[in-house]
C-alpha cells in the first residue's frame, strides 16, 4: 500500500498508509492528523491547504481552476500549495510528503 508522510505544524513526521482512491484530507482524518476540512471536501474552502514537498509536486496532476480559486484564499500560500481534498492517492504517489501550514483561514466559520 502506498505511504504518505505528513509533516505537522511542529515539524514532526507522520508516515501513514495511504489507500489508493482516498484524498489526502480523508487520509489525514483517518490518522488523526490535524488537517481541517470545513467544507468536507466539497471545494468550498481552503482549510485543507497543504504544502507539497517540491520534489513531489511534479508528480501531481494540475490543480483545477476551482481549486486555484480556493487556494487564493489560503493562509501561507506557497508555490507548491494544494488542497488536500483534491489530491487523490494513486500507486504513483507512494512516498508523497505534505506539510501542514502554520494556520488556516476558515471562511465558513460564522
Cell matching residue 16: 501513514
Please report which confidence band the pLDDT of residue 105 belongs to, taking 50, 70 and 90 as the band edges. low
- Give the pLDDT score at 100: 95
What percent of the chain shows pLDDT beyond 90?
Answer: 85
Q: Domains in the chain, ordered, with CATH?
A: 3-99 (3.10.20.30)
The whole model's pTM is what? 0.91
DSSP H or E stretch at residue 81: strand 81-83
Query: What is the pLDDT at residue 104?
Result: 55
pLDDT in tens, 22-55: 999 999 999 999 999 999 899 999 999 999 999 9
Amino acid at each position: 500500500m502506498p505511504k504518505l508522510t505528513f509533516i505537522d505544524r511542529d515539524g514532526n513526521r507522520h508516515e501513514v498508509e495511504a489507500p489508493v482512491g482516498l484524498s489526502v484530507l480523508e487520509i489525514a482524518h483517518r490518522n488523526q492528523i490535524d488537517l481541517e476540512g470545513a467544507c468536507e471536501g466539497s471545494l468550498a474552502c481552503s482549510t485543507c491547504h497543504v504544502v507539497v514537498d517540491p520534489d513531489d509536486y511534479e508528480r501531481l496532476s494540475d490543480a483545477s481552476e476551482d481549486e486555484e480559486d480556493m487556494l487564493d484564499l489560503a493562509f501561507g500560500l506557497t508555490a507548491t500549495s494544494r488542497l488536500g481534498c483534491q489530491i487523490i492517492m494513486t500507486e504513483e504517489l507512494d512516498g508523497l510528503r505534505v506539510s501542514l501550514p502554520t494556520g488556516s483561514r476558515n471562511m465558513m466559520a460564522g
